[in-house]
Amino acid sequence: MPDHSHRIAELEHRITEQEKTIADLSEMVVAQWKKIDLLERRFKEL
Q: What are 2-46's pLDDT values in tens digits?
A: 789 999 999 999 999 999 999 999 999 999 999 999 999 999 999
Degrees (nearest 5) of the Cα angle 20, 27, 9?
A: 5
Instruction: Return the pLDDT at 3.
Output: 87
pLDDT at 1 over 60: no
Instruction: Return the pLDDT at 42.
Output: 97
pTM of the model: 0.74
SS3 content of the chain, % helix, strand, coil (to 5): 90, 0, 10
Instruction: Return the pLDDT at 23.
Output: 99
C-alpha 16/C-alpha 43 separation (Å) is 41
Degrees (nearest 5) of the Cα angle 31, 29, 25?
A: 115
